[in-house]
């Protein structure tokens, strides 16, 4: 007498894997639910609104246009969004929770992809908030304060705004991946641009080369929506030096560092 045993293939989570959408939701929750992340997001929203209100009362009526309001709303966001990117990448390494994260999902590339996607979503929401606040401010100042009320902005303006914010966010992600320590990355992010700004303002012979070396200078035409010609090449050079190279080195380090 023989007995036939049927083997049913296993389809548990170890075989199927965690869906990418779930990983992104987890990373979003890490950024939103923590005390530091929630306060940072609240601060980004508050400074966006406050900056627009201050500008509405301080600027001349001729300067109260949709484009100017967008620029004012985007500027403080560009200072704080990189901190969000830094926190997203350095969280596991600073808080020493990496062992838990990478035990549940051993493939580090998928975890990194989820972190980049989560910060990209929040960055996109930040741009949407800036545009919405700017539109409301333009309507109110035009009706109540005899503001200019012009709506000239266009697709080029939107492209510049999105690219400006995306590069700011990528810079934070790159520094976080390279240094893998929240405090160190935040200090470097704020200190280096200040140091280079002082250097180029004090040394006149370097002023002409600032746009080829300093990323803040090369991004200025994006903020002003005046970028053209050689400005694009200068932006590419500084982006490669300040974002792409550190990001590549940081990703290699994250993918190969021993988890403790």
Per-residue pLDDT tens for 114-129?
889 999 999 999 999 9
Is the pLDDT score of 148 beyond 70?
yes
Is the pLDDT score of 256 beyond 60?
yes
Start-to-end Cα distance in the chain: 54
Reading the block at residue 232, the tokens are 């694009």
Would you state the pLDDT for residue 42?
92
Would you state the pLDDT for residue 181?
87
Is the pLDDT score of 101 beyond 70?
no
Percentage with pLDDT > 90 across the chain: 37
Q: Where are the domains of the chain?
A: 18-256
CA distances from residue 207 to 155, 199, 202, 229, 230 in whole angstroms, order as listed: 32, 9, 9, 19, 16
How confident is the prediction for the chain on average, in pLDDT?
Answer: 84
Is the pLDDT score of 180 beyond 90?
no
Would you state the pLDDT for residue 194?
80
Give the pLDDT band of residue 54 (cuts 50, 70, 90).
very high
Would you state the pLDDT for residue 139?
93
69-72's contacts with Cβ under 8 Å and 24+ in sequence apart are: 69/133, 69/134, 69/135, 69/137, 69/138, 70/130, 70/131, 70/134, 70/153, 70/157, 70/161, 71/223, 71/224, 72/134
**In terms of DSSP H, where are the helices of the chain?**
13-16, 20-33, 35-58, 66-95, 98-104, 108-144, 154-179, 182-202, 210-213, 215-224, 230-239, 245-256
Is the pLDDT score of 222 beyond 60?
yes
Would you state the pLDDT for residue 1?
46
Would you state the pLDDT for residue 102?
62
Would you state the pLDDT for residue 14?
46
Would you state the pLDDT for residue 13?
47
Is the pLDDT score of 136 beyond 90?
yes
């Amino acid at each position: 007498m023989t007995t036939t045993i049927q083997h049913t293939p296993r389809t548990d989570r170890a075989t199927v894997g965690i869906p990418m959408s779930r990983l992104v939701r987890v990373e979003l929750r890490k950024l939103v639910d923590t005390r530091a992340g929630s306060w940072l997001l609240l601060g980004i929203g508050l400074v966006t609104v406050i900056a627009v209100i201050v500008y509405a009362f301080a600027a001349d009526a001729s300067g109260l246009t949709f484009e100017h309001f967008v620029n004012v709303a985007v500027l403080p966001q560009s200072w704080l969004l990189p901190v969000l990117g830094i926190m997203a990448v350095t969280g596991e390494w600073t808080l020493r929770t990496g062992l838990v994260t990478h035990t549940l999902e051993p493939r580090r590339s998928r975890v990194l992809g989820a972190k980049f996607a989560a910060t990209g979503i929040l960055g996109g929401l930040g741009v949407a908030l800036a545009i919405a606040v700017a539109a409301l401010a333009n309507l109110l100042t035009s009706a109540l304060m005899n503001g200019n009320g012009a709506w000239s902005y266009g697709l080029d303006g939107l492209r510049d705004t999105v690219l400006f914010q995306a590069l700011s966010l990528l810079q934070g992600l790159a520094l976080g991946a390279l240094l893998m320590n929240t405090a160190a990355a935040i200090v470097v992010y704020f200190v280096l641009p200040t140091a280079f700004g002082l250097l180029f303002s004090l040394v006149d012979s370097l002023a002409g080369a600032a746009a080829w070396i300093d990323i803040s200078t090369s991004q200025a035409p994006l903020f002003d929506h005046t970028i053209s010609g050689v400005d694009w090449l200068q932006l590419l050079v500084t982006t490669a030096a300040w974002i792409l190279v550190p990001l590549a080195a940081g990703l290699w380090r994250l993918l190969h560092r021993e988890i403790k």
